[in-house]
Amino acid sequence: MSPLQFCLLLSSLLFCLGLLGALARSNTILVLLGIELMLNAANLNLIAFWRYGPHPAIGTGVIFVLFTIAVAAAEAAVGLAFVIAVHRHRRSVRLQEASQLKG
């Protein structure tokens, strides 16, 4: 098994862990954290492909990861702000309870 494959397996495992958290946990914060984990798994992939790709000299993967980190940070900030706002209005952080938006 080549190191690249190992890295990909690692990232996919991490991704599934994040997905599991996002699906199974009822606390909104944890759901957000799971999503963060998935993002990190994606970054892991990017770095792995950059490292083992044909030309590691071209820093595309690295740049991509940097941008992803920035976006992830923004996402975390806004998401948690939403959690706080929701909690202030209806004293609960359970995701399934925030469900007025339905047809």
Show contacts with other proteins in window 24-83 (CB under 8 A): 24-27, 29-31, 33-34, 36-37, 40, 43-44, 47-48, 50-52, 54, 56-57, 59, 62-63, 65-67, 69-78, 80-83
Token pair listed for 103: 């047809």
CB of 45 to other proteins, least distance (A): 10
Other CB atoms closer than 10 Å to residue 2's CB: what's the count?
A: 8
Instruction: State how far the Cα of 101 lies from the Cα of 16, in Å rounded to an integer.
Output: 28
CB of 94 to other proteins, least distance (A): 9
Task: Collapse the DSSP code of 70 into the 3-class scheme (helix H, G, I; strand E, B; otherwise coil) and give the result.
Answer: helix
Size of the site for other proteins (CB under 8 A): 79
